[in-house]
Amino acid sequence: MKDLVTTLLDEREITGLLTEYCRALDCMDLEAISKVFTNDCVVKFSPDKRLNGHGSQAVAKSLERMWRWASTSDHLSNVQIYFDGEDRAPR
């Protein structure tokens, strides 16, 4: 198991990515959104496959549908991160 300092730093990095995602989405900054995700990510926003994405660029592309809004207001609170391995936090 990781040491406490490494775990805390990893949790902080994940929380920062979640916060950046919300900020970028609120500003409709698709370039910044694509940088939050990895090239091999799989994101499922909905059962509708057209709204989902595989890969950072595809995720940003799938969010283009939201351009009709000048901005949104996403909120993030009570972040809980669980590690189930050395480099895995699945939920």
Instruction: Name the residue ranges covered by the structural domains of the chain.
Output: 4-67
Most confident of 19-33, 37-51, 71-85: 19-33
**What is the residue type of 72?**
T
| Selected residue with higher pLDDT from 87 and 79 | 79
Question: How many other CB atoms sit within 10 Å of the CB of residue 40?
Answer: 8
Within 1-91, strands assigned E span 42-43, 53-54
Most confident of 52-56, 60-64, 79-83: 79-83
> Is there a contact between 18 and 89 (Cβ–Cβ < 8 Å)?
no
Unique residue bearing structure tokens 């283009």: 64
Closest CA to 30 of 52, 62, 54, 55: 62
What local confidence, expressed as pLDDT, does residue 20 receive? 94
> Is there a contact between 43 and 52 (Cβ–Cβ < 8 Å)?
yes
pLDDT range class, residue 35, cuts 50, 70, 90: very high
